[in-house]
Copies of this chain bind each other. A is one copy, B any other.
Amino acid sequence: MASRLGIKAFLTFGAGWFANSAFNEYVGRKSKSPESLVIDGRIVDKRPALPLFGVVSAATPYDTSSGTDVASRVGQIMQFGFPSLDNIRSFDDYVLSYDRRNRVANWVFEHLTPDGVKHNEAVDRSKCDFKEDLSIHPYFRSTNDDYKGSGYDRGHLAAAGNHKGHQKHCEQTFLLSNMAPQVGRGFNRDSWNRLERHVRKLTKTHPNVYVCTGPLYLSQKEANGKSYVKYEVIGKNMVAVPTHFFKVVVAEDANKNFMMESYVMPNSVISDDTPLTSFMVKPELVEKLSGLLFFDRVSRDKLQFINGKKA
């Protein structure tokens, strides 16, 4: 089989390091391409082996029918700092950083207001389709096929229910760059959804709610005493299945005082009677685990509560 795939030389050292690895899966797929030639047991492309595309650095702007001044909306959403600056996409009502290695966002950032989350008859979620994000280079883009048969939901990071101001805002949350493979029953459709509703409800007492959401890939100690990160990858594009998800929330009340809440939930079936407070962790812990820095521009003397306790 190795020889048929043109990677015989690649395996001649015999230790089988690459057996069943991502290589074989990719090379196997590649070798079926009509553009590939196998010469002397090697794949040689007819076209030069360089990417055909430059670095895509921003999402193609949507048409302006949503009535949003995108630049100033981004300034509002991100006013307390960017968690990282890796592959940023600015949409009409949320901002995203894309992880090209894992084919899942690093984080999404939203600014919720009472108006933006309230029921709006003009917005019909059922008309929104899950779509590939064409602003992501095809090498790193997840597709609907990657999720098919995987057993995982296409779980929103920026929740559709947070973006009811315009049909376009809701539609943009259905881009696959905003999805992560999530356990469906017991997580995405249940406890994770409870957390999303809790965050939306904060707009009843806090006119401005900022929320950063993203995946985590956490290590476990194994029997040999060593720690390992282990996570599944699905589909031809090897979309990572996060082990956990985080939400870090900053909410501003009418007196311009702030509170912060910070959650980590495992991407697993969680019993509906588990209180959301049991998933609260210190924001610094999420920072260390994610490699991100949250809300570093929030004035610290304005922060009155962290996870429900006086700061």
Interface residues of A (CB under 8 A from B): 9-13, 15, 17-18, 20-23, 25-27, 30, 39, 42-45, 48-51, 53-55, 57, 81-82, 84-87, 99-102, 137, 139-140, 217-221, 226-234, 238, 240, 260, 264, 266, 268, 270-271, 274-275, 277-285, 287-298, 300, 303, 306-307, 309, 311
Q: When A and B form their complex, which 9 residue pairs have the shortest distance between CB atoms, in order from nearest?
A: A101-B291, A100-B291, A20-B221, A13-B274, A17-B266, A86-B86, A230-B230, A22-B218, A48-B300
B101→A260 contact, CB < 8 A? no
Contacts A23-B285, A48-B311, A139-B287 hold; do A229 and B229 have CB atoms under 8 A apart? yes
| Interface hub of A9, A233, A277, A283 (most chain B Cβ within 10 A) | A233
| Interface hub of A50, A230, A232, A307 (most chain B Cβ within 10 A) | A50
Select one of B232, B281, B287 contacting A51, CB under 8 A: B287
A229→B231 contact, CB < 8 A? yes
Q: Measured between alpha carbons, how far is A274 from B10 in the docked complex, in Å?
A: 10
Q: Measured between alpha carbons, how far is A238 from B218 in the docked complex, in Å?
A: 10
Q: Measured between alpha carbons, how far is A55 from B90 in the docked complex, in Å?
A: 20
